[in-house]
Chains A and B, each alone.
Chain A
Amino acid sequence: GAGVSQSPSNKVTEKGKDVELRCDPISGHTALYWYRQSLGQGLEFLIYFQGNSAPDKSGLPSDRFSAERTGGSVSTLTIQRTQQEDSAVYLCASSLYGQGQAQYFGPGTRLLVL
């Protein structure tokens, strides 16, 4: 596609439920990144994929968070047993090869946990 797309654009869920967030990177981009933007913490890195592998998961806040990428393309971020502090905007970005390349961001998924 022309840019990075994410779905859903908005998600409201109840505390304790699981959610899945999807990211479609720019076609041909091998590197994919997930970030989170919340009021108190600014923009934080979560996880990075090179192809289908995740060499850096250091930003995942707890073991309730996981992510996968298939076919070197679409990625899914899963949050299990959601908590209110998970409420944030989840942003996905892709770049052509990874290190030293410009990253392009999707519109984000706004998650609200009630």
Chain B
Amino acid sequence: GIQVEQSPPDLILQEGANSTLRCNFSDSVNNLQWFHQNPWGQLINLFYIPSGTKQNGRLSATTVATERYSLLYISSSQTTDSGVYFCAVETHNQGGKLIFGQGTELSVKP
């Protein structure tokens, strides 16, 4: 089956710093989503981005489907950005089930 790899596994930032999280996947995909899991465990949708670039405030994401990777950019990080960031992909003709990466755990220090 498809492999989804995220890097780095852990990241510690000072408030105000920028960061880039990466998601590599081993096969072509129908869908790619980025989620933020907050300290209470809730998975929050950040981006639905099978290809191209999207921006939402301080966050932006780019997926290059032909090269099988996606990047999540966090600018001017805040302590509330702390948590685990997951990339999840959906392969073709699988009904929409998501295959998740192992996540990047981000800690933003004041």
Contact = CB atoms under 8 A, between A and B. Distances in A.
Nearest to B30: A100
A62 to B, nearest CB: 19
Nearest to B102: A42
A70 interface: no
Contact of B43 (A44, A45, A91, A99): A91
Classify the interface of chain B: helix, strand, loop or mixed.
Answer: loop
Contacts of A45: 97-99
A105 B46 CA distance: 12
B30 A104 contact: no
Which range holds the interface residue count of chain B? 20 to 34
A99 B41 contact: no
Contacts of B97: 33, 45, 48, 56, 59
Interface stretch (B10-18, B20-28, B71-79, B88-96): B88-96
Contacts of A101: 31, 96
A6 B90 CA distance: 23
A72 interface: no
Contacts of A93: 43, 98
Contact of A103 (B30, B33, B41, B42): B33
Contacts of B100: 42-44
Given A42-B102, A43-B86, A99-B90, A105 B95 contact: no
A105 B90 contact: no
In this complex, which of A59, A98, A110 has the most chain B Cβ atoms within 10 angstroms of its Cβ?
A98
B26 to A, nearest CB: 16
Given A31-B96, A95-B96, 14 more contacts: A42-B103, A43-B86, A45-B98, A48-B97, A55-B95, A93-B43, A99-B95, A99-B96, A102-B31, A102-B45, A103-B33, A105-B35, A105-B45, A110-B41
13 contacts: A31-B95, A33-B97, A43-B86, A44-B100, A45-B98, A56-B97, A59-B97, A93-B43, A93-B98, A99-B30, A99-B31, A102-B31, A103-B98
